[in-house]
Amino acid sequence: MMTKELGKTGVYLPEIGMGTWNYRADPGPSRRGFEAGALFIDTAESYGTDHIVGEALKGFRQHVFVATKVSPQNFSRSRLCVSVDSILKRLGLDTIDLLQLHGPNPAIAIKETMDALAEVVNAGKVKFVGVSNFSVVQLIAARRAFHLYSAVSNHLRYNLIDRTIEKDLLPYCKAHHITVIAHSPLARGLDRLQDCDPQGVLANLSRSMGKSPAQIAINWCLCKEGVVAIPKSNSEAHILENCAASDWRLSADRLRGLDSVIRYCHRGRFDTLARLWMPDRLMPFVRRVVNSLPRGIRRRLR
């Protein structure tokens, strides 16, 4: 597994980790991922998967980089400290490698939140801090408020068909040595990618390269400087398939072919906010509705 530096920390992450949002399997598939080199796992207190991650980590902890996220409603000083203690207890750990703010919360002053993060870092409960779904403006505000420690990562949606962060976030993160942790590198499934691939370029590349479409899509993300990917799967077979997207690179010609054919979007502010704040319980219903629409309409909604 190839690695990339986390910010400018001197710590190198496997470029493919494992996401655990909506993870429904037992610890077994995650353990097989660790054995295959995906020694980087991402969770969040809102996911409800800490107990499974904690079980999977047994016997692997010294080798695995563990990232988690604290929910926006817990960004006050008192609540953040309590949340961190609760997360550590559920995971069965003494230290969190990367603690991320799970989205901005304008109701709580960013300085208060950053001071609380400094407190848990100084206490040895957290090694590094990052953010999730922060815009450039929000990143700048966080950096100004955080004098002792800098945010080393931004956890963002990024894939072949959703390139919203390429407008300004990706260049900003690159310029300031902030690692982009790309969640949903396969969108919400290969069917979504195929909807936006009218010429079947993924299938053609798969046949010519001997790589699966999923591996090609993940590798496309990894070709970007400062980007690591955390695909999620409940299947051991798919986790191993995802891990095999590392240790090689798409050629410049193949990258240009994907970029010229795949129909991708740059989402507007309203769309981005709607997706960010939509309750998780509504997502399965929304997906069913979207999947029932004709492909031409689905493509515009990806």
pLDDT confidence band for 299 (50 / 70 / 90): very low
Q: What is the DSSP string of 32-66?
A: HHHHTT--EEE--TTTT-HHHHHHHHTTTGGG-EE
CA distance 229 to 217: 11
Give this prediction's pTM.
0.89
pLDDT confidence band for 7 (50 / 70 / 90): very high
- Could you tell me the two tokens for 122? 């100084």
Give all domains of the chain, ordered by start, each with its CATH number. Answer: 3-300 (3.20.20.100)
CA distance 1 to 166: 26
Q: What percent of the chain has pLDDT over 90?
A: 84
> What is the phi/psi pair of residue 163, to 5°?
-115, 30
- Count of alpha carbons within 13 Å of 19, Cβ hemisphere only? 21
* Residues 149-177 pLDDT 10s: 889 999 999 999 999 999 999 999 999 99
Give the ranges where the chain is alpha helix by DSSP (H): 27-35, 50-57, 77-91, 110-122, 136-145, 169-175, 190-195, 201-209, 213-222, 236-243, 252-261, 269-277, 283-291, 295-300
CA distance 203 to 208: 9
- The CA-based angle 57-232-95, given to 5 degrees, is 30
At residue 191, does pLDDT exceed 80?
Answer: yes
Contact 169, 135 (CB under 8 A): yes
CA distance 24 to 22: 6
Q: Which of 38-42, 65-69, 157-161, 262-266 has the weakest average pLDDT?
A: 262-266
Q: How much is the average pLDDT of 100-112? A: 96
User: According to the model, what pLDDT value does residue 270 have?
Assistant: 47
